């Protein structure tokens, strides 16, 4: 033990040295690393030290791992991992490295038991309370919002604004792309329900039980209110980015804010996850604007309608992988809620479909040909849907098939992520550009949308949840998370990246850590909310294949790609920290 005269919090020192850490919290017994960035490879036997904040004492030291370059990002930067997983004492610390006779330090960070759920879950609740579309302007306009191309008006009060810069409300969007659709308000609602059921003791002890469950019920109320008399869900309530709330319309949405009357939801367009959320919350026997019987009746009515009409509502008239995992969630939750054979049959069919979509290399095929499944938000949802299905499935043959699918998907994600120099452990993926199969860090900017690419923090969080939830089924272990170490490393790497251990030293959880994106204002009192997760880091702007690396806080109005908060990021981060919480009996 000795004292260093240092200035923690400066983060960058002379000679281009920077030290990146999870700026919010490391789990006491979890995988804990920092990254030291240099202009030249650190010499062999370079030591790092962990310094306690209040005393200034060195409490742990170790050797940096060999420096690596991520050639896809830069041929000038070198990264070395500082692994302090063996240190388990709670407290506040910084990492210090001495190179060329100069000591450089990281930001301060904490190590605590169950730190991620203790900090993250209340923060996420606060964010979604802030995102409620509950201003007088929104409530007044949405009570009688007009359907595009019609004189009919419907009551669509409630729900959450989609992003810190967009007060529209979406079940899903990008429907015209067929393969890129994210799950938005329905997934967030399901996420709140799942966390409430997985961690009832935790949310009770945190003093947020009533508010947390109310947020789930609030989401369910919006889903049921969005169910039409005909049996379909309205997909999008669009603001057109206009200040006048009376300009809002229920629409189908194309590129460049072009709108249509194609607002009926197919499985992949939000219907599957909406049915799943309504079916699941019906078992709570709790009322808000509606009661449990109404939630279940709405879920069953919608399921019957979408079973007949989904292909008609889908833009290309064909099922794809997103329909499979969304319909699987709907059928599984209804099977769990009712025990009815009709839902058992559909769940088994969709689980079998996912198994058949596995490629020889282990990634899923999105279509009926050879398009790889890649997704900027919901990459972990196929595994999550299969795991939820297995909560009900007891037949040994069907279980074996689903477990094989989960294991193959997990093995693939571990393999592709480790397939190149990757000191941050960032989750990689396969995709195709101009008909050529590639693996890379970030989604291709040339894709079916013609314009949409952004940071992928939702994808990272969804894969974190999938790795832990699926891993408990196929790679169990006798530790507090119930999964083997290589899966834990993968999961903690994604969370740490979001919370600041990334090449820009940017904590993407607003109001936490030491370095956040700038505040983004929006209409009706909305804007950036504390606890919300920003889009994050992308491939280099201008690179069609998503290669390189980029993060901008200013870009002539296009900075939203990196800095804007989006509800799928925060909804999936809720599932990541839920998975990394101690599993309750």
Q: Between residues 9 and 386, which one has the greater pLDDT?
A: 386
**The pLDDT value given to residue 101:** 81
User: pLDDT for 108-167, tens place per residue?
Assistant: 999 999 999 999 999 999 999 999 999 999 999 999 999 999 999 999 999 999 999 999
Among candidate residues 459, 292, 432, 415, the one with its CA nearest the CA of residue 365: 432
Strand duo 18-20 + 102-105: pairing: unpaired
Q: If you average pLDDT over residues 287-299, what whole number do you get?
A: 98
Q: If you average pLDDT over residues 246-262, what whole number do you get?
A: 97
User: pLDDT for 181-216, tens place per residue?
Assistant: 999 999 999 999 999 999 999 999 999 999 999 999
Q: What is the distance between the alpha carbons of residues 211 and 388, in angstroms, rounded to a whole number?
A: 25
Q: Is residue 285 part of a domain?
A: yes
**The pLDDT value given to residue 100:** 80
**The pLDDT value given to residue 468:** 98
Same domain, 414 and 470: yes
Task: Report residue 494's pLDDT band, with 50, 70 and 90 as the boundaries.
Answer: very high
Same domain, 95 and 163: no
Q: Which residues pair with 430 in a beta bridge?
A: 439
**The pLDDT value given to residue 254:** 97
**The pLDDT value given to residue 584:** 80
CB atoms within 10 A of CB 230: 9
Same domain, 510 and 421: yes
Inter-helix orientation angle 185-198/209-225, to 10°? 150
End residue of a domain, out of 88, 112, 136: 112
Q: Is residue 69 part of a domain?
A: yes
Burial class (CB in 10 A: 0-12, 13-18, 19+), 391: exposed
DSSP element (H, E) containing 104 = strand 102-105
Q: Put the strands of the sheet holding 33-38 in their side by side order.
A: 18-20, 33-38, 78-83
Same domain, 260 and 395: yes
pLDDT at 4 over 80: no
Q: If you average pLDDT over residues 315-338, what whole number do you get?
A: 99
Q: What is the distance between the alpha carbons of residues 228 and 140, in angstroms, rounded to a whole number?
A: 20
Q: If you average pLDDT over residues 463-477, what whole number do you get?
A: 98
Task: Report residue 2's pLDDT band, with 50, 70 and 90 as the boundaries.
Answer: very low
Same domain, 388 and 510: yes
Is 35 within 8 Å of 118 (Cβ atoms)?
A: no
pLDDT at 61 over 50: yes
Is 38 within 8 Å of 99 (Cβ atoms)?
A: yes
* Tally of CA atoms within 13 A in the half-sphere of 584 that contains its CB: 15
pLDDT at 6 over 70: no
For the chain, helix (H) and strand (E) counts, in that order, are 15, 17
Q: Taken in order 519, 569, 32, 482, is the CA torsion positive or negative? A: positive
Same domain, 352 and 463: yes
| SS3 state at 470 | helix
pLDDT at 9 over 80: no
% of the chain surpassing 70 pLDDT: 97
Q: Taken in order 122, 125, 129, 131, is the CA torsion positive or negative? A: positive
Q: Is residue 584 part of a domain?
A: no
Burial class (CB in 10 A: 0-12, 13-18, 19+), 265: buried
pLDDT at 276 over 60: yes
Q: If you average pLDDT over residues 526-552, what whole number do you get?
A: 98
Q: Is residue 8 part of a domain?
A: no
End residue of a domain, out of 77, 112, 147: 112
**The pLDDT value given to residue 583:** 78
Inter-helix orientation angle 271-282/292-313, to 10°? 160
How much is the mean pLDDT over the chain? 96
Among candidate residues 453, 495, 491, 496, the one with its CA nearest the CA of residue 471: 491
Q: Residue 460's domain is classified under what CATH number? A: 1.50.10.10
Same domain, 203 and 56: no
Is 288 within 8 Å of 345 (Cβ atoms)?
A: no
Q: What is the distance between the alpha carbons of residues 379 and 478, in angstroms, rounded to a whole number?
A: 27
Residues 6+ positions from 389 with CB-CB distance below 8 Å: 328, 331, 332, 347, 351, 402
Same domain, 328 and 280: yes
CB atoms within 10 A of CB 44: 9
Round to the nearest angstrom and report the end-to-end CA distance of the chain.
41
Q: Is residue 2 part of a domain?
A: no
Residues 6+ positions from 312 with CB-CB distance below 8 Å: none
Among candidate residues 454, 437, 272, 440, the one with its CA nearest the CA of residue 366: 437
Q: Is residue 5 part of a domain?
A: no
Task: Report residue 582's pLDDT band, with 50, 70 and 90 as the boundaries.
Answer: confident
Q: If you average pLDDT over residues 67-87, what whole number do you get?
A: 97
Same domain, 83 and 188: no
Same domain, 386 and 424: yes
Among candidate residues 450, 431, 451, the one with its CA nearest the CA of residue 440: 431
Count how many residues are written for the chain: 585
Of the listed ranges 4-13, 68-77, 194-203, 359-368, the least confidently predicted one is: 4-13
Domain count, the chain: 2
Task: Report residue 368's pLDDT band, with 50, 70 and 90 as the boundaries.
Answer: very high
pLDDT at 573 over 50: yes
Domain span at 50: 14-112
Q: What's the Rg (C-alpha) of the chain?
A: 23
In eight-state DSSP terms, residue 175 is: G
**The pLDDT value given to residue 1:** 32
**The pLDDT value given to residue 413:** 98
**The pLDDT value given to residue 572:** 99
% of the chain surpassing 90 pLDDT: 95
End residue of a domain, out of 112, 145, 163: 112
**The pLDDT value given to residue 16:** 74
**The pLDDT value given to residue 444:** 98
**The pLDDT value given to residue 14:** 38
Same domain, 415 and 532: yes
Q: Is residue 310 part of a domain?
A: yes
Q: Is residue 4 part of a domain?
A: no
Task: Report residue 3's pLDDT band, with 50, 70 and 90 as the boundaries.
Answer: very low
Task: Report residue 7's pLDDT band, with 50, 70 and 90 as the boundaries.
Answer: very low
Q: What is the distance between the alpha carbons of residues 501 and 536, in angstroms, rounded to a whole number?
A: 12
Of the listed ranges 188-202, 314-328, 408-422, 571-585, the least confidently predicted one is: 571-585
Q: What is the largest CA-CA distance in the chain?
A: 76
DSSP element (H, E) containing 191 = helix 185-198
Q: What is the distance between the alpha carbons of residues 416 and 360, in angstroms, rounded to a whole number?
A: 13
* Tally of CA atoms within 13 A in the half-sphere of 201 that contains its CB: 5
Burial class (CB in 10 A: 0-12, 13-18, 19+), 323: buried
**The pLDDT value given to residue 70:** 98
Q: Taken in order 415, 420, 421, 422, is the CA torsion positive or negative? A: negative
Same domain, 330 and 448: yes
């Amino acid at each position: 033990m000795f004292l260093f005269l240092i200035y923690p919090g400066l983060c960058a020192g002379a000679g281009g040295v920077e030290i990146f850490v999870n700026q919010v919290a490391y789990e006491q017994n979890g995988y804990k690393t920092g990254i030291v960035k240099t202009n030249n490879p650190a010499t062999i036997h370079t030591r790092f030290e962990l310094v306690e904040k209040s005393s200034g004492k060195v409490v742990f030291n170790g050797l940096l791992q060999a420096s690596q370059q991520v050639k896809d990002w830069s041929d000038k930067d070198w990264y070395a991992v500082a692994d302090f997983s063996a240190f388990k004492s709670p407290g506040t610390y910084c990492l210090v490295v001495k190179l060329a006779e100069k000591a450089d330090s990281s930001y301060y960070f904490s190590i605590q038991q169950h730190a991620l759920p203790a900090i993250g879950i209340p923060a996420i609740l606060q964010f979604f309370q802030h995102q409620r579309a509950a201003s007088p302007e929104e409530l007044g306009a949405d009570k009688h919002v007009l359907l595009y191309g019609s004189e009919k008006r419907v009551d669509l009060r409630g729900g959450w604004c989609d992003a810190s810069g967009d007060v529209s409300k979406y079940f899903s969007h990008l429907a015209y792309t067929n393969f890129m659709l994210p799950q938005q308000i329905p997934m967030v609602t399901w996420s709140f329900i799942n966390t409430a059921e997985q961690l009832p003791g935790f949310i009770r002890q945190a003093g947020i039980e009533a508010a947390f469950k109310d947020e789930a019920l609030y989401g369910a109320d919006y889903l049921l209110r969005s169910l039409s008399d005909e049996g379909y869900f309205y997909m999008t309530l669009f603001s057109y980015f206009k200040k006048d709330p009376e300009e809002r319309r229920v629409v189908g949405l194309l590129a460049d804010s072009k709108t249509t009357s194609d607002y009926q939801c197919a499985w992949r367009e939000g219907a599957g996850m909406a049915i799943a959320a309504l079916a699941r919350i019906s078992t709570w026997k709790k009322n808000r604007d509606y009661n449990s019987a109404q939630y279940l009746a709405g879920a069953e009515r919608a399921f019957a309608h979408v079973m007949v009409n989904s292909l008609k509502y889908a833009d290309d008239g064909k099922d794809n992988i997103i329909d499979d995992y969304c319909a699987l969630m709907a059928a599984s939750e209804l099977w769990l809620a009712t025990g009815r054979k009709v839902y058992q049959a559909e769940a088994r069919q969709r689980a079998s479909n996912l198994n058949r979509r596995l490629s020889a290399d282990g990634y899923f095929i999105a279509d009926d040909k050879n398009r790889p499944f890649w997704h900027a938000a919901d990459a972990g949802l196929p595994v999550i849907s299969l795991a939820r299905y297995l909560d009900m499935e007891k037949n040994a043959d069907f279980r074996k098939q689903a477990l094989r699918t989960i294991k193959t998907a997990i093995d693939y994600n571990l393999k592709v992520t480790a397939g190149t120099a990757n000191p941050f452990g960032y989750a990689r993926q396969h995709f195709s550009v101009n008909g050529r199969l590639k693996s890379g860090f970030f989604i291709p900017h040339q894709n079916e949308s013609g314009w949409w690419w952004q940071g992928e923090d939702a994808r990272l969080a969804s894969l974190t949840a999938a790795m832990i939830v699926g891993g408990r089924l196929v790679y169990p272990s006798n530790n507090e998370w119930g999964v083997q170490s290589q899966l834990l490393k993968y999961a903690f790497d994604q969370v740490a990246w979001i919370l600041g251990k990334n090449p820009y030293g940017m904590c993407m959880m607003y109001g936490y850590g030491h370095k956040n994106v700038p505040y983004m204002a929006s209409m009706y009192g909305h804007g950036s909310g504390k606890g919300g997760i920003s889009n994050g880091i992308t491939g280099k702007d201008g690179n069609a294949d998503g290669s390189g690396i980029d993060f901008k806080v200013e870009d002539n109005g296009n900075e939203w790609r990196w800095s804007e908060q989006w509800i799928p990021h925060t909804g999936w981060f809720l599932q990541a920290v839920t998975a990394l919480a101690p599993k309750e009996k």
